[in-house]
Amino acid sequence: MSIAFSKYQGLGNDFILIDNRHSDTPAIEPDEAIMWCDRHFGIGGDGVIFVLPGTADTDYTMRIFNSDGSEPEMCGNGIRCMAKFIAALEGKIDEAVTYKIHTLAGIITPEIFPEGQVRVDMGEPRLLAAEIPTTLATPKDKVVDRSIEVDGKSWTVTCVSMGNPHCMTFVEDANAIPLATIGPKFECHPVFTQKTNTEFVQVIRPDYLRMRVWERGAGITLACGTGACATVVAGVLTGKSDRNCTVELPGGCLYIEWSIEDNRVYMTGPAELVFTGSVAQ
């Protein structure tokens, strides 16, 4: 027996996609996902994404195991890759198509444009401490420009949930941050009761931000879609950025819009097939 897969990447954030439409249960276990994601002994990836049957009025369901075997609520770059994978499964590679996808963060709606870009309605940001969740503020307060001590240093942070937790800190030079050292200490800080993704953000212009990310359960990645969305929300909340903004990540740029009309965040960026294969079980 073997399991077929396709590997996709969105700005270098790479995922192993499995057609799981035949079952509500992921085809592999979290410990197998760890092996598949290993870049030396496996396929290599930041996570494994399963395309499961939809529920209620959705087209499909997204499940994802991170490279450490943990399961996040959803993934912004991953859902763009998932949309392109579904379009390939349906034979709609060159068509404009929209999907409603059920995730643990709610219903997410990616729209594929004919030129290949994917625009995703990421929903409304969640701003209260209880929604993130974090104990940096009282449950019904926003977490904007709060102080936290990490690795013997005081950092000013703003926290946002895009269905998963994010902690943003604005810095003079994002490239100078020792991400491998400081990232895990933010992720596992006790004020984040479900751990956190952490973004270090440099303001180039109000409409252009540079960001590096330490992802919960994956570590250093080249891009993070939910993180880019949360970064723009944090920039607006702190008066540092516009609502329409380009976010530069190590793997490339995403265009983020926090709509004033409907309060929803929209993310536009690429997703591309890398290769296909199968793994013997």
- Tens of pLDDT along 41-66? 999 999 999 999 999 899 999 999 99
Catalogue the E-assigned strands of the chain.
2-10, 13-19, 47-53, 60-66, 97-98, 101-103, 106-112, 118-121, 146-150, 153-161, 165-170, 197-205, 208-215, 219-220, 244-249, 252-258, 265-269, 272-280
Question: Which residue, 153, 155, 58, is CA-closest to 108?
Answer: 58
3, two tokens: 């399991």
Q: Quick check: 131 and 139 in contact, CB under 8 A? A: no
Q: Considering 37, 159, 167, 224, which one is annotated as catalytic? A: 224
Q: What average pLDDT does this structure show over 86-101? A: 95
Q: Does 133 sit behind a cis peptide bond, omega within 30 degrees of 0 on the bond before it?
A: yes
Nearest to 220 by CA among 254, 253, 255, 251: 251
Distance CA(254)–CA(89), nearest Å, equals: 25
d(C-alpha 280, C-alpha 64), whole Å: 20
The model carries a pTM of: 0.93
**Interatomic CA distance for residues 85 and 238, integer angstroms:** 37
Decide if 159 contacts 169 (C-beta within 8 A). no
Catalytic-residue membership of 37: no
Please answer whether residues 50 and 64 qualify as being in contact, where contact means their C-beta atoms are separated by less than 8 angstroms.
Answer: yes
In the residue annotation, 81 being an active-site residue is answered as: no
> What does the pLDDT look like over 212-271, one tens digit per residue?
999 999 999 999 999 999 999 999 999 999 999 999 999 999 999 999 999 999 999 999
Which whole number is the average pLDDT over 119-125? 97
Active site residue: 75, 81, 229, 245, which one?
75
Q: Which residue has the tokens 């810095």?
A: 171
